Structure 1
């Protein structure tokens, strides 16, 4: 995935390498700004959150950072005090090599849970990285943070005189409970901490927080944004729009690359009482194994969507007599189940992206979520993941 160099934000550098974390692919990424950045981050709410999450959450409390370290192929979760000590040591090593204050470094890890970092390899690999940093290569960074991803995920936009780039990784253990997976954004726009925080969290809520692959919340989910301000101020509305577009693009890339996935599922629920209700119903649909497998097999069993809506038993305002279910523009409920109608539905469900549209007809709010189908390959990948 080549990066348009003209859209690379100024003032960032990278170091990407293989330190032997698990295999021969790149597994260590450092992205550094020339100057301290205004920053924000959101993280998993998992009770088993790893040291990378707890440390980064603490380091970003002052909304400032200058670098991000990402280690892939090892989550460094459930390793007790030694896991925390390893993560803190890595941050200190990077600080020593780059001159960045340790508290201005965020760290993220992704991969197998319950295994300690090969810390000796990392110690050796970090030596001298201050002299090895080069002009930012976000394409290489997107590859370096991958685990079982099949493609790197990167998107970028121009915002006035500034540039914005986002990278992400994630294909499994994805059910957002803050952000989801790992995703990082970098810009040379100048923006205040309060404005950045507001825009960033609203964006994450409407994109990555609306994504689900398999209903499992990761212990390592992290979403971080760094703005170094070197390009000057930009209109807030334009920045918000660009960030929304980049995050949405990355969200769809993750959905498309879900482990074993062959199709993207997009569910839109409208005419709900409020956004929370719309999102809850949409998630019930996109997370249903029966809906996901029906999409995989292009089985026109639209009753599974009705079933999924019915699981929202606390939403007593929903009346089945008022609900309308469509696939693309084809209404299936209320409707007929003629051979012709089912054949139309089968064709829709054979497409690379399947759109399911539900109108509750009890309000004016809506939400859209994304996911993917469920295939035999998902079981194959996750049945042998740690070996």
Structure 2
């Protein structure tokens, strides 16, 4: 398995064998593509999908949940710049119509397609535009690559996000995993708080694909946070065509984990207004749930995020964030250790020279904060978790203050 820095090194990123895609402009944004359709024409169809748990989940999520249940979805249609959320029965009817027209264009049943939407909440799809666009797909070229698809679904992203990993099949051939993702705001998951689609030409049973994908999502997208807000439309999908042949299950899990981690780090680094990638590692917890809870408390703290942005060596804000987890009574401050990069700040109590070095550490484009809770020392557990986010800047406020205008 070899990761490829596709987003930087390549001008085109072909989808895995068996997939064909069209990306086009329906007119939802002023310039550029805003709708894409991908269909699996391979010998088999395995799929997995996970969705937001928002109470305001949009029609795209509701319909995709139904269609994904059997694990044999053959494709996906994505609409950018309009979430079609909180739009009532009319919005649901619009989403069904989009699915039906897209399915007709690629020759599959509507129940075999998934749908994802992203953009402003509370506005119905501009159906005349979408009808015209989707009805024209029957004679269109389906030659879009992954970079084109990633670009078409951007909203406030500053660049498209792609990742590629190659695997060796059990017969000595090569299979590929290609991932695309978008979403740099409203990121605090009950699932993967963005849209991501992972394609592979490996031959895999739906249950095996689901296990590999969900495991990767849990360790990556579900450990991502930009601003503590959970979106209403978030969808992560995996599709397998079977063209390349079978792969070892452990190899598949590693490949999916690598692609999802790559995309997660790209999403965190491109957080709205972000200038730095912030990684928080927590070890020595009672279990993974506790480690993740503490890590998110640090990552989501506005005071920690602003300190990172300004390279302010105020390491005490991390201690504050840990202290907020007051229901975790097995955390003893005397056992806790806080490290920025390779510099221990607690219980070392840094002096002026160390604080100057801490400032330099926090000026880097990537800042890593490591915390050992010390609960393991009491024999209670060995949980650990790493989460990913970014700093909080004035630009974040500007972007979201003017988002719909």
TM-score (norm 2): 0.94
Separation (CA, whole Å) in 2 of partners of 1:51 and 1:133: 28
Runs of 4 or more consecutive aligned structure 1 residues displaced over 3 Å after TM superposition: 1-8
Per-residue deviation, 1:18 = 1.1
1:380 pairs with 2:393:
no
**Does the 8 Å contact 2:186/2:226 carry over to 1?**
yes
1:295-334 paired onto structure 2 within 5 Å: 295-334=308-347
CA contact (8 A) 2:14 2:146 kept: no
Q: How far, CA to CA, are the matches of 1:296 and 1:156 in structure 2?
A: 30
2:130 match: secondary structure? helix
The C-alpha deviation readout for 1:213-237, integer Å capped at 9, x for no partner, is 0000000110000001111101111
User: Which residue number in structure 1 is paired with residue 379 of structure 2?
Assistant: none
- Name the SS for the 2:45 alignment partner: strand
Contact 1:3 1:138 (8 Å CA) reproduced: no
Unmatched 5+ stretches in structure 1: none
Contact kept, 8 Å, 1:14 with 1:30, in 2: the verdict is yes
Contact 1:12 1:135 in 2 (8 A): no
2:275 equivalent in structure 1? 262
The Cα of 1:32 is off from its aligned counterpart by 1.2
1:204 and 2:212 are equivalent in the alignment: no
SS of 1:135's partner is coil
For 1:223-234, list aligned pairs within 5 A. Answer: 223-234=236-247
What is residue 386 of structure 2 aligned with on the other side?
Answer: 368
Change (3 A) 1:323 1:309: same
Tell me, yes or no, if the aligned pair for 2:91 and 2:124 is still in contact at 8 Å.
yes
1:31 correspondence with 2:38: yes
**Inter-partner Cα distance in structure 2 for 1:320 and 1:130:** 64
SS of alignment partner, residue 242 of structure 2: strand
Contact (CA 8 Å) 2:288, 2:383: kept in 1 or not?
A: yes
Residue 11 of structure 1 pairs with residue 18 of structure 2? yes
Task: Tell whether the 8 Å contact from 2:14 to 2:145 is kept in structure 1 after alignment.
Answer: no
Check the 8 A contact 1:154/1:167 in 2, yes or no: yes
Asked if the contact 1:3–1:139 (Cα under 8 Å) also holds between the matched residues in 2, the reply is no
> Quick one: distance in 2 between partners of 1:357 and 1:323?
11
Mapped contact 2:188–2:226 kept (Cα < 8 A): yes
Q: Structure 2, unaligned stretches of length 5 or more?
A: 1-6, 169-173, 377-381
Shift of 1:119: 0.4
Tell me the residue number matched to 1:54: 62
Q: How has the CA–CA distance of structure 1 residues 365 and 7 changed in structure 2, closer, same or farther, with 3 Å as cutoff?
A: farther
Aligned pairs, number? 387
With over 3 angstroms needed to count, the CA separation of the structure-2 counterparts of 1:93 and 1:8, relative to structure 1, is closer
Matches of 2:188 and 2:245, distance apart in 1: 36
Q: Normalising by structure 1, report the TM-score.
A: 0.98
Output the CA distance in 1 between the equivalents of 2:150 and 2:312. Answer: 35
Task: Please show how residues 25-174 of structure 1 align to structure 2 within 5 Å.
Answer: 25-35=32-42, 37-160=45-168, 161-174=174-187
Aligned to 1:22: 29
CA RMSD of aligned residues (A): 1.2
